[in-house]
Amino acid sequence: MASLRAAFGASLAAARTRPPSFGLALPSPAPCSSWAAAMEPTPRWLAGLRFDNRALRALPVETPPPGPEDVLSTPRPVPGACFSRARPAPLRRPCLVALSMPALALLGLEAREEAEVEAEAALFFSGNALLPGAEPAAHCYCGHQFGQFAGQLGDGAAMYLGEVCTAAGERWELQLKGAGPTPFSRQADGRKVLRSSIREFLCSEAMFHLGIPTTRAGACVTSESTVIRDVFYDGNPKYEKCTVVLRIAPTFIRFGSFEIFKPPDEHTGRAGPSVGRNDIRVQMLDYVISSFYPEIQAAHSCDSDHTQRNAAFFREVTRRTARMVAEWQCVGFCHGVLNTDNMSIVGLTIDYGPFGFLDRYDPDHICNASDNAGRYTYSKQPQVCKWNLQKLAEALEPELPLALGEAILAEEFDSEFQRHYLQKMRKKLGLIRVELEEDGTLVAKLLETMHLTGADFTNTFYMLSSFPAEASDSTEFLTRLTSQCASLEELKLAFRPQMDPRQLSMMLMLAQSNPQLFALIGTQANVTKELERVEHQSRLEQLSPEELQSKNTDRWKTWLQEYRARLDKEKEDVGDTAAWQADRVRIMHANNPKYILRNYIAQNAIEAAENGDFSEVRRVLKLLESPYYSEEVATEATGPEAAARATDEQCSYSSRPPLWAAELCVTSS
- Strands 61-62, 83-85: pairing kind: parallel
Q: Using CA atoms of 43, 47, 49, 54 in order, give the dihedral in degrees to the nearest 10.
A: 70
Closest CA to 259 of 269, 272, 268: 272
- Ranges of H-type helices in 365-437: 381-396, 402-428
Long-range contacts of 60-67 (CB under 8 A, 24+ apart): 60/280, 60/283, 61/28, 61/85, 61/137, 62/140, 62/183, 63/26, 64/24, 64/26
Q: Does 341 qualify as catalytic in the annotation?
A: yes
- Ranges of H-type helices in 332-401: 381-396
- Residue 360's Cα: distance from chain center in Å? 20
DSSP-assigned letter for residue 265: P
DSSP-assigned letter for residue 18: S
Orientation of helix 114-124 relative to helix 2-17, angle to 10°: 10
Q: Round to whole Å and give the CA distance between 264 and 413.
A: 28
Q: Round to whole Å and give the CA distance between 279 and 161.
A: 26
Count how many Cα atoms sit within 13 Å of the Cα of residue 229 in the half-sphere of its side chain. Answer: 18
> How many helices (H) and strands (E) would you count in the chain?
24, 15
Q: Round to whole Å and give the CA distance between 591 and 570.
A: 18
Active-site option among 341, 351, 359, 456: 341
Residue 250: is the preceding peptide bond cis (ω within 30°)? no
Residue 181: is the preceding peptide bond cis (ω within 30°)? no
- Ranges of H-type helices in 341-380: none
SS3 216: strand
State the SS3 of 522-579: CCHHHHHHHHHHHHHHHHHHCCCHHHHHHHHHHHHHHHHHHHHHHHHHHCCCCCCHHH
Residues 228-260 as b/e (b if ≥16 CB within 10 A, e otherwise) read ebebeeeeeeeebbbbbbbbbbbbbbbbbbbbb
Q: Round to whole Å and give the CA distance between 383 and 386.
A: 5
Q: Catalytic site residues?
A: 341
